Structure 1
Amino acid sequence: MHTTICWLSLIFVAFPAVATEAAAGAVFKLATFNTALLPSNVIRQYSARKEALQTALADSSADVVCLQEIWRQQDILDIANTSRSRFPYYHSFNSMGMRGQKVPISNTAPCDVLDFLRAYTQCLNKSCLTAFSQGIAAGVSCAFVSCKLYMQSLGQYCVNCMLQADVGTSNDVTTAIQRQCIYLPTDNYATTHGLLLLSKYPLKKKVAATYHPNDVVPLTRGYISAEIDGLGPVMCTHLTTEGAFPSYFGPPPFTSFEELQTNETQQVLKAYPADREGFPPVLLGDFNHGPKSNILVGEHTVNYQLIIDAGYESPYITKVGTCTLCANNPLGGAAGSMKADRAVDHIYVAKGSNVTNVKRIWDNKLAVNTSGEALPISDHYGVQLSYHYVYEGTSSGRILSSSLLIAVTGIVLHGLI
């Protein structure tokens, strides 16, 4: 009888530990959203939309959210802090730096005065003044084409600041850049890559990686990732596209934005193969690619197909299939640069995964600008789904499926009784 009690004790002591690992059976609600929080007013009503985003996150039903285009460090902190009651855990480049190292706080301006004056007097003023008068995107594009060596010499933090300079209502780009990037050290402009991962659950094994760490580029791209018990690796990214830039000026050996995006896609698939041992990764973000359909214009479809061929699927495409970057969005559609419907925001899961409740989110008009016009939060709409995966591995320490666990427990108890 004493032996029987001991065996029963062992069963009930061990059972909670196994059940904790078997949290893999939980259903996780995952979401991705491009916020379009561009302080330079490329997309209008930045402040009103930021406030609306914070409200939407507080009311969100998601467990994990991947956000893109939050370019300023202060915005990262603001959104993480106001969302803390719903999402107590977050991950970003903000605390890890461009290459996985913490960025030191600096009291110096992002741009060196002499380097900037040299670039401005010897090239920018002569070649790109007209372009800068048309807006920051046009000016920086011209600068990388006509003054590339000077832009490289300025360094990434300076270029980040130039592209993010808040022109306010004056639309005076050159004055804004000089005031905010040379004379006022209000931000060290270590790039956030625009990424923020919010989670209801603890984030482990955090990673932050830059796609092109050795090149000065107008918009730094990369990914952040972490592991969540019962869910596995979750990666959050935003891939390159031509956007508002009129021509390619990225790093060699690539000759187009599509080639640059292909390289980034390949880096993602190498780091997070769908057939990895254990839990398959979940890839979230604005991938700036998507398929063509009878209602969608294809966007860099070759790169979408790369991910599909690698063993992933986009349930939003297969189950919903409507646009996330839409022509009728007043922030980026008919009133902006996008003239056709595209689906470029995805939550990629391994093929055959259990996915339900796939839907488009934050597509209603929430933000109200100073003139009383109701606007959506962003020029993109979000994607959300419910995801469930149970790993039935055989290696030591892996999770037993619920049916197998019940069977084994029943056999042991039967032998004791």
Structure 2
Amino acid sequence: MRTAWLRSAKLLCALALLACSGDKSRARESTSAPEGGVAPQAEAPVEARESAEPKPAAPFRVATYNGGLAMGVLKYVDERAEPLINALAEQPVDLLCVQEFWLEEHWQKLVAATSGNLPRTFRLPPGHEDGGCTRQETDPLVACAAQSCAGLTQHALLPCLLQSCASKLTSLSPDCFNCLSANPRKGPDELARACLRAQTKSAAGARPPARAGGAAAVEVYSGASGTAVLTNAEILERDSLILPSAIDRRAVLYTRLSPPSVGELHVFCTHLTANMEGVPHPRNTSWQKDQSAQIDALLAYVDQKTDGRGATLLLGDLNTGPAIAPSISARLPAHYNRLLARGFVNPYASQEDAKCTYCFDNPLDGGKGTRGLLIDHVLLRGFEGDASGAQIMRSNLTFEAGKKKVKSGFSDHYGLLVTLSRRDS
């Protein structure tokens, strides 16, 4: 969870995040159907019919994975991205819900790498791309960064700015914040110049859309949610819900699928706000209340789309989870229990071999500690069949960074795969 607060803190700092443009890889779905019916088949010999046994339907494999590709927040994004995407593309999955694929370049590489097995995709475009600052806003921030954070790299810059320049960040207007948070590869002075230019160019143009109630949207990564769905199943319906959030765009992606092996599924893919202890909330409330409001909206949306019927999957980094002895600590367990109280079950958490998905010994997060959190989930409701879970993307990788060899996790999270199988009737 330490990287969770860094992640949204980076959002707060406005220097870590970038725009993700719309889904350019629309579903490559087959819509052709035979005309004129099916040609009659010759009847098989009785002996053949009696000896033939029906083949069991193939299981449907569902996975969630937080890639941790938060440029400017987590270390080694450039070094991790390509091996991460290649390894993820090799996983035996039929439905994948990903989080923290913030940058368009990473998303397009994932689409290309998985196009053979997961050709249908769903991802929201960013909420906005414009914005601008006044010199009265940028000059104090740039001066503070130069004095207190000079020479720091991207992943070290955020904690410094939060500690030394927090008042300069929180005083930015939404338009300025959105612009400054659009490019994670630039430093404060470069961003300030770019956003002043952007203001000049768009002074007579339209501003980013306001939120309900008239307040301008404060969203990092130019309003990208970082969340997407990839699948090889037929997508019957797509929809989405933007969740209430303080500084970043949180969304629920809904797809209604029809995999032949398990029947129709209602799928909800999301990434809820973390409880960022120690990070000031920009609206003088709490991150815990933000997540609670998101769960309220999420559960209402699930009921709206399903009408309480049908097999339903809720998956993603939910930033809440149970305590499981001996080594998994709870994270906002009351929120997690609210999901169970609405009929969801967690097949992986009930297994004896359940492990943390956000683990304190992950080398990307310092590699210290023996405990962790189980906050990445595939929850089921109304599914009449068997389900078993296993972790994916748990191995480490080694690469060269500068002049040193680095051992790292692919992400600060491990992935989770749940295999669904219909019971014989």
Global fold match (TM > 0.5): yes
| Cα separation, 1, equivalents of 2:120 and 2:192 | 37
Partner of 1:28: 60
SS in 2 for 1:315: coil
Amino acid at match of 1:200: N
1:152 and 2:174 aligned: yes
Report the Cα offset of residue 377 of structure 1.
0.9
CA distance in 2, matches of 1:30, 1:360: 11
Q: How many residues align?
A: 341
1:385 aligns with 2:418: yes
**Aligned residue type for 1:112:** G
Match of 1:368 in 2: 399
The alpha-carbon deviation at position 272 of structure 1 amounts to 0.8
CA offset digits 1:220-253 (Å, max 9, x no partner): 222212111133221111111144x73331446x
What amino acid does structure 2 have at the position aligned with 1:35? G
Matched, 1:256 2:286: yes
Equivalent of residue 228 in structure 1, options 251, 257, 260: 257
Quote the residue 1:325 is aligned against: 358
Worse overlay, 76-85 or 378-387: 76-85
Give me the whole-angstrom Cα distance separating, in 2, the residues matched to 1:195 and 1:141: 29
Distance 1:142 1:359 in 2: 43
Cα distance in 2 for partners of 1:27, 1:324 equals 23
CA 1:123–1:350 in 2, change beyond 3 Å: closer, same or farther? Answer: same
Q: What pairs with 1:124-203 in structure 2 (closer than 5 Å)?
A: 125=143, 130=148, 135-136=157-158, 139=161, 148-154=170-176, 157-158=178-179, 160-161=181-182, 165-166=184-185, 173-178=187-192, 189-203=221-235
Structure 1: give runs of 5+ residues left out of the alignment.
1-8, 14-24, 168-172, 391-401, 404-417
Contact 1:191 1:220 in 2 (8 A): yes
Gap change, CA 1:135 and 1:267, over 3 Å in 2:
same
What letter matches 1:175 in structure 2?
Answer: D
* Shift in CA distance, 181/84, structure 1 to aligned 2, threshold 3 Å: farther
SS of residue in 1 equivalent to 2:84: helix
SS in 1 for 2:311: coil
Give 1:141 deviation, angstroms. Answer: 8.2
Residue 3 (structure 1) aligns with: none
Amino acid at match of 1:225: Y
* Aligned residue in 1 for 2:278: 246
Mapped contact 1:151–1:159 kept (Cα < 8 A): no
Tell me the distance in 2 between the aligned counterparts of 1:73 and 1:135.
23
Give the C-alpha shift of residue 332 in structure 1. 1.5
On the 8 A contact 2:363/2:407 being kept in 1, the answer is no
* 2:359 partner SS: coil
Which amino acid in 2 is paired with 1:307? L
Q: For residues 366 and 293 of structure 1, what CA distance do their matches in structure 2 show?
A: 28
- After superposition, the C-alpha distances for 1:171-212 in whole angstroms (9 at most, x for unaligned) are xx4235336655689xx9532211121111232321232212
Matched residues in 2 for 1:129 and 1:223: separation? 41
* TM superposition shift of 1:129: 6.6
1: CA distance between counterparts of 2:344 and 2:160?
Answer: 36
Partner of 1:311: 343
Identity of aligned residues (%): 19
Q: Distance in 1 between matches of 2:331 and 2:371?
A: 11
Aligned equivalents of 2:194, 2:118: Cα separation in 1? 32
Q: Whose helix proportion is higher, 1 or 2?
A: 1
Matches within 5 A, 1:49-128: 49-94=80-125, 97-98=126-127, 110-114=130-134, 117-121=135-139, 125=143
Partner-residue secondary structure (3-state), 1:205: strand
Amino acid at match of 2:307: R
- Which consecutive residues of structure 2, in runs of 5 or more, have no partner in the other structure? 1-35, 41-56, 200-219
SS at match of 2:172: helix
Answer yes or no: is the 8 Å Cα contact 1:128–1:143 preserved in 2: no
Aligned equivalents of 1:303, 1:71: Cα separation in 2: 26
TM-score using structure 1 length: 0.71
| Structure 2 SS opposite 1:387 | strand
Verify the 8 A CA contact 1:165 1:180 in the aligned structure 2.
no
| Contact 2:133-2:195 within 8 A present in 1 as well | no
Cα deviation, 1:105-131, whole Å, max 9, x if unaligned, reads x6xxx44142xx222246775699747
| Contact persistence 1:203–1:226 (CA under 8 A) | yes
Shift of 1:269: 0.8
Q: Deviations over 1:333-361 (max 9, x none)?
A: 436xx884111100111166533331011
TM-aligned CA distance change 1:223 to 1:365, over 3 Å = same
**Are the structure 2 counterparts of residues 382 and 152 from structure 1 closer, same or farther at C-alpha, using a change threshold of 3 Å?**
same
1:410 — aligned with what?
none
- Partner residue in 2 for 1:21: none
Q: Deviations over 1:378-400 (max 9, x none)?
A: 0100000112458xxxxxxxxxx
User: For the residues of structure 2 that align with 1:88 and 1:131, how far apart are their CA atoms?
Assistant: 44
Q: Counterparts of 2:193 and 2:234 in 1: how far apart (Å)?
A: 40
Work out the CA distance in 2 between the residues paired with 1:219 and 1:141: 20
The 8 Å contact of residues 73 and 192 in structure 1, kept in 2 or not, is answered as: no
Q: For 1:328, what is the secondary structure of its paired residue?
A: coil
Is the aligned partner of 1:334 residue 2:374?
A: no
Match of 2:53 in 1: none
